[in-house]
Amino acid sequence: MQFPSPHEHILPNDITCISSPPLPDQFNVKDRIRGSMLGLATGDALGASVEFMPHQQLLAHPVSGMQSGGTWGLKAGQWTDDTSMALCLASSLITTRIFDPYNQMVRYKWWYKYGFLSSTGHCFDIGKATRNALNIFSQRQKILQQAFGLHNEIQVDSLSFKDVRKVYAFDVNCSGPDVAGNGPLMRLASVPLYYFRNPALAVELSGQSARLTHGSEKAIDACRYYAALIVAALRGESKEQLVSQQFYHNHRAWFGAKDLCTEVLYIALGSYKKPGGYEMGIRGSGYIIKSLEAALWAFWSDGNSFRNGVLAAVNLGDDTDTTAAIYGQLAGAYYGAESILPKWLKQLYAKDLIICISDWLYYFGQQSHSTVHKKKNMYYHVPTQLHKKYSNPAIRMHRGMFQSVVPRRVHKAKNYDSYLRDHLPNPQMWASSQAHIRPQYQQIAANHLVPYSDIFQQPFYSGQR
C-alpha cells in the first residue's frame, strides 16, 4: 500500500487501493478490523453535520442518518479530523511497519498543514490541544534540521524515530501533563487493531500514541483502557465480558505495572451504566473522561445494534462526531463491518480506501506478531503529578522497544502528596511540616477512590481535543 506525498494533494477518494495478500481468517477478525475503522468513520460522518449542536436542539431534531451541511458545510458521508488523524496513524503503521511516534507526528503535521488524508483536501477542523502540539512539533523539527545538517522540510520529515532519538535535545512528546482532550481517543483504533495479537503491547503503545499530543495521565489511561476493550472484542470476548465490572481485573496483566488512574478506573467499574443517559449525566464533551464514558454508555445501551448506539452517541450533542467515532471503534470491532447499515456505507466518503487500509493493518499486524514482543519493563513511570520542569519526559528506545523516561529526582511520596493536595475535597494547606496528617489523607483517598469521581471532573478541558 503506497500513500501519496502530501505535496501531491491527492484526495483520499483518488488514492489507488492495492489489495493486501490473502491470509487465513478463521475467527472473522478481518471483518472486525474493517468494522472498527468503518465504524469510526461512520460515526464521525454521522455527527459531522451537527457538531457543537446542544442536546436540547437534537431532542427536537434528532439525527437519523447521513446528512449534509452543518458547521463545516460537508456533503453527506464526509468525515472530519477524527477520521483524518485515524488514517494518518494507520498509514504510519502500514508504511513503517513499526510503531514510530516521530513518523506519526509527521503525518499529523501533513494533515494540519497540507490536508493529507482530509475528506476536503485541507484541515478544516482541529482541536486546540492537537493544534498546539503540532505547532510545537514543527518548531522542534528545527532542532533536527540543525543537528543533521538538513536543508528542507522533506528531508527532516523523512527521518525515523531511530534517527531522532539520538538527538538529546529533541522530544517527540509535544504536550504538557494537564492536557486531557479527547483527541487521542478519537484516532486510536489502528494501534490496537495492528497489535491485537499481543494485548500488552497494544495497550502500552496505545498509551504512547496519546502522549504525543495529550500528556495527561487521564488521556493516556483512557486510551490504554479503550485499546484493551478493542483488543478483547477482536479476540472474541462477549459483550457481557467487555462491559463487566471485572474486565480490568480480569485483564490486569495487559496493563503492566501502571494502574489506571482513578477517573478511568471509575469508568472501568461501570460509571457509564446509566439508563437515563443524558438526564443522568452522560455528556458528549471534549474532555476525554466524559467522551470515554459517553461512548461506553452508547455501547452498553445499544441493544446489540450499531445503528442504535451510534445515533445515541450523536444525539447526546456537543462533540457529536467524536463521541460517535469513539463508539464506532469498539462497536465496529465487536459487531463487525456487516453491522453497519449498507446505505450508510454507500454514502461514506472514501469507503474503499478505509477498507483497504483496514486489510493492510490486518496483514502487517500478522507479520509483526512473530517479531515484536513486549518487554517486561515496558510500563509507565509517569507519576500522578509532575513538576513543570519535569513535564514531557522523553520517549527513548530500550532494546528495540519504547520506554518513557522520567527523571529519578521525582519522588513517589512527593507525587502522592501532590495528588492528595490537588484532588481531595477541601484539602488543608500541605507542607512538609504537616507530614503527620498524611495518613488521614490516605484514608480519605481510599474512601473516595471510586464513589466520588465527581471531585475529579475538570470541565475546563471541554472542547480542547
For the annotated binding site for Mg(2+), the residues are 80-82, 319, 321-322
Other beta carbons within 10 angstroms of residue 413's beta carbon come to 9
Contacts of 157 (CB under 8 A, 6+ apart): 106, 109, 110, 141
The gap between the terminal CA atoms of the chain, to the nearest Å, is 30
CA distance 146 to 150: 7
CA distance 107 to 218: 24
Other beta carbons within 10 angstroms of residue 223's beta carbon come to 28
Residues annotated within a binding site: 80-82, 319, 321-322
CA distance 212 to 221: 14
Bridge partners of 74?
A: 69
CA distance 390 to 399: 24
CB 459 within 8 A of CB 285: yes
Distance of CA 31 to the CA centre of its chain: 21
Phi, psi of 70 (to 5 degrees): 85, -160
59, burial (CB in 10 Å: exposed 0-12, middle 13-18, buried 19+): exposed
CA distance 75 to 67: 7
